[in-house]
């Protein structure tokens, strides 16, 4: 008899699942047995393709156009997931935007959009999902970044938002204990649309690759594997933690060692 996949019968809610890391997370969860509701902002065709890919795996999928920066839309998204798929066990706050925004030039609207998408977005998602977690418990994973662990004046609102998500992870882990575990992943350089200008240029791709001890850029599936671990029973005694997924790229500066 074949074994049941680990997330069989569970329902996951993922923001920003149409492309990149979020897409990989949606498909990885579905491969492991979960039905998945995911949001997207603009990429309707990509979202439809993800729905079909989940359905080909034999799971149910729901794609909802919902702006992570708008708490009301997030509330509706989670409610739809609950109504259509019946429950909410796993939550992944992944939706994000990035763009260079140097500390002097960054505009107030850019500050607001970045903080509201990442930080208010993650908070609103957890607040909307909280009443739906089963008595047996659930899990939340926030997709932060190594940018949240380092000073980054060239991407100021982004790194502040990602640092805020790490603080939010720890506070929510306490607030939602003992029923719900809350953790974060902090990816390094990952090949997605967000980083296309860097990995599509041979020189910046190679310069950044040389700084990664594992010898290659990260792929969306590398991050999805870490999210899967944190959402799984293997991480049943882990909460409030940040798992860095960067091929060792931040080891030197995280240890306080200069190049």
Q: How far is the CB of 150 from ligand NAP (least distance, A)?
A: 12
Q: How far is the CB of 46 from ligand NAP (least distance, A)?
A: 6
Are residues 115 and 37 in contact, defined by beta-carbon separation less than 8 angstroms?
Answer: no
Q: Which is nearer to ligand NAP, 165 or 235 (CB)?
A: 165
Tell me how crowded residue 207 is: count the other CB atoms within 10 A of its CB.
11
Q: Which is nearer to ligand NAP, 6 or 127 (CB)?
A: 127
Start-end of H helices in the chain: 20-31, 44-56, 71-85, 108-115, 121-129, 156-175, 196-199, 202-210, 220-231, 251-254
Residue 18: C-alpha distances to residues 24, 26, 30, 32, 64 (Å): 9, 9, 14, 19, 10
Q: Which is nearer to ligand NAP, 5 or 114 (CB)?
A: 114
Q: Which is nearer to ligand NAP, 94 or 239 (CB)?
A: 94
Q: How far is the CB of 187 from ligand NAP (least distance, A)?
A: 4
Element (H, E) at 138: strand 138-143
**Torsion, Cα of 126, 130, 134, 135 (10° steps):** 120
Q: Which is nearer to ligand NAP, 137 or 205 (CB)?
A: 205
Q: How far is the CB of 211 from ligand NAP (least distance, A)?
A: 13
Q: How far is the CB of 163 from ligand NAP (least distance, A)?
A: 12
Q: List contacts with ligand NAP (CB under 6 A).
A: 15-16, 18-22, 39-43, 67-69, 94-98, 117, 143, 145, 187, 189-190, 192-195
| Cβ density class 213-234: b for 16+ within 10 Å, e for less | eeeebbebebbbebbbebbeee
Active site residues: 145, 158, 162
Query: Rounded to whole angstroms, how far apart are CA atoms 208 and 92?
Result: 27
């Amino acid at each position: 008899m074949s074994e049941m996949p680990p997330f069989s019968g569970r329902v996951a809610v993922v923001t920003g699942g149409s492309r990149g890391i979020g897409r990989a997370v949606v498909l990885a969860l579905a491969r492991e047995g979960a039905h998945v509701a995911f949001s997207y902002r603009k990429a309707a065709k990509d979202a439809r393709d993800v729905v079909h890919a989940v359905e080909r795996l034999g799971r149910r999928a729901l794609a909802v156009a919902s702006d992570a920066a708008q708490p009301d839309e997030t509330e509706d998204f989670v409610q739809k997931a609950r109504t259509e798929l019946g429950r909410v066990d796993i939550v992944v706050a992944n939706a994000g935007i990035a763009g260079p925004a140097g500390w002097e030039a960054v505009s107030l609207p850019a500050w607001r959009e970045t903080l509201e998408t990442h930080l208010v977005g993650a908070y609103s998602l957890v607040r909307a999902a909280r009443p739906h977690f089963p008595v047996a418990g659930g899990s939340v994973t926030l997709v932060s970044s190594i940018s949240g662990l380092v000073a980054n004046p060239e991407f100021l609102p982004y790194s502040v938002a990602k640092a805020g998500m790490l603080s939010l992870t720890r506070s929510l882990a306490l607030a939602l204990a003992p029923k719900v575990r809350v953790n974060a992943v902090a990816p390094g350089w990952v090949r997605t649309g967000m980083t296309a200008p860097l990995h599509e240029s041979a020189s910046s791709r190679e310069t950044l690759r040389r700084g990664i001890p594992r010898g290659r850029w990260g792929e969306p599936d590398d991050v999805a594997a870490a999210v899967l671990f944190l959402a799984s029973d293997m991480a049943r005694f882990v909460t409030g933690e940040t798992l860095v997924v960067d091929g060792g790229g931040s080891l030197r500066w995280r240890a306080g060692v200069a190049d």
